């Protein structure tokens, strides 16, 4: 199997922005499972590609690893904070 991203598969930047948009729809606060589920509903067809289904570790498909990396990217950029209880909250930088 290839590590080359399939055409139409969202980039980490696109996933990070989509995650922020999803969290906005939940009033600026959402748990990780909700964000992952909502992103899958948005991008499910591309996540079902060979690239997206590839397992990066036991039980973790590439698409899910990409979503979790995108959430971490948004945190690193200061647009989200992750609480100890696994909830993501928007920061002022994401609201602007």
Confidence of residue 1 (pLDDT cuts 50, 70, 90): very low
Q: Is 15 helix (H, G, I), strand (E, B) or coil?
A: helix
Q: Which of 64, 32, 36, 33 is nearest to 48 (CA)?
A: 64
What integer pLDDT is reported at residue 60 of this predicted model? 93
pTM of the model: 0.85
Report, as an integer, the average pLDDT of 25-44.
94
- Is 2 exposed, middle or buried (CB count within 10 Å of its CB: 0-12, 13-18, 19+)? exposed
Are 80 and 49 in contact, with CB atoms under 8 Å apart? no
Q: What is 12-95's CATH number?
A: 1.10.10.10
Residue 51, pLDDT score: 80
pLDDT at 50: 82
Sorted by where each begins, the domain ranges of the chain are: 12-95
């Amino acid at each position: 199997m290839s590590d080359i991203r399939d055409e139409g598969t969202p980039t980490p930047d696109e996933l990070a922005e989509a995650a922020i948009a999803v969290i906005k729809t939940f009033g600026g606060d959402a748990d990780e499972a909700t964000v992952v589920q909502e992103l899958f509903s948005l991008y499910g067809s591309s996540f079902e590609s060979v690239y997206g289904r590839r397992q990066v570790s036991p039980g973790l498909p590439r698409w899910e690893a990409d979503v979790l990396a995108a959430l971490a990217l948004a945190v690193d950029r200061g647009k989200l904070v992750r609480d100890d209880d696994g909830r993501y909250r928007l920061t002022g930088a994401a609201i602007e």
